[in-house]
Amino acid sequence: MNFGKVITAMVTPYNKAGEVDYAKVQKLTQHLLHNGSDAVLVCGTTGESPCLSLDERANLWAAAREAVGTEGKLILGTTDNETAYSCEVAKKAQQAGADALLAVAPYYNKPSQEGLYLHFAKIAASADIPIVLYNIPGRTGVNIQPETVLRLANDCPNIVAIKDATGSLDSVSVLRTMLPRDFAVYSGDDSLTLPVMSVGGDGVISVASHLIGNEIAAMINAYQAGDVARALELHLHYFEMFKKLFITTNPVPVKACLNLLGWDMGDCRLPLAPPSEQETAVLTELLKKYGLLA
């Protein structure tokens, strides 16, 4: 199953009191869907999900659901490192109108491959909507092996896609050789979107699309239309942005960029600290270089 080519992993806006700003959630959701995104992912890593209460998540889901309407797909990040809790949240997200769920590998626990299989299989059994696996070993400390993904794809009909943030084209290549073609494989790294497409990827779950969603969509469209030279030109042109949006822990840089552009998203919640003066200077110059900031 395909949720489009560009899915934005959306930041969570806060007001000056540090509370979630639901009006801005809706404004940003609409902006993204009108500027290159086919779907939005709410309450993922970029949305600071570990720092959101269940009530805040529920209100975020409702605000985003209303804003998305029929203009795109809404994917909700629901999982935690406890299986039973993840299943309960998955049920609530389905009731809230999610088109799909994002299920990240349990962090800190470091389960075996059997543990990962059982974790995701239980989540899949608790919800009747599509599920996107999320493999990001740099944050979770565990890697979902391709054989485990294949096992889940075979045994759980609603596990239909994976966000691969391993940083490894070999990983994506192995997935693509093993999985059925209708099982979607998304790049989890903006800088690897075009390389991932070249080995059978279906698109990107993006951070940079907050700023250049139309351009990322154009790159993917060019590649799929056979205009590899144009796709490469766009990839190389925006490569610096792809990398510098990760000069410190995501989502600190992209949120800082949005603030510099007047979106007033607030700082990230602790333990993520605001960007340093040096980092802010780098991001300011980046936005100027790409003509986003006067």
> Does 223 participate in catalysis according to the annotation?
no
Residue 1 in this model has a pLDDT that exceeds 70: no
DSSP state of 71: S
What value does the mean pLDDT take over residues 142-146? 97
d(CA 254, CA 107): 23
pLDDT, residue 237, reads 98
CATH 3.40.50.300 matches 6-231: no
**Which two structure tokens, joined as six digits, stand for 140?**
């979770």
Q: How many residues are listed for the chain in this entry? A: 294
Catalytic hit among 117, 163, 238, 255: 163
Residue 2 in this model has a pLDDT that exceeds 80: no
| Residues 88-139 pLDDT 10s | 999 999 999 999 999 999 999 999 999 999 999 999 999 999 999 999 999 9
Confidence band of 79 (pLDDT split at 50, 70, 90): confident
Catalytic hit among 22, 117, 134, 223: 134
> Does 134 participate in catalysis according to the annotation?
yes
How much of the chain exceeds pLDDT 90, in percent? 97
pTM, two decimals, is: 0.96
d(CA 162, CA 185): 5
Domain locations in the chain as residue ranges? 6-231
**Which two structure tokens, joined as six digits, stand for 11?**
């930041």
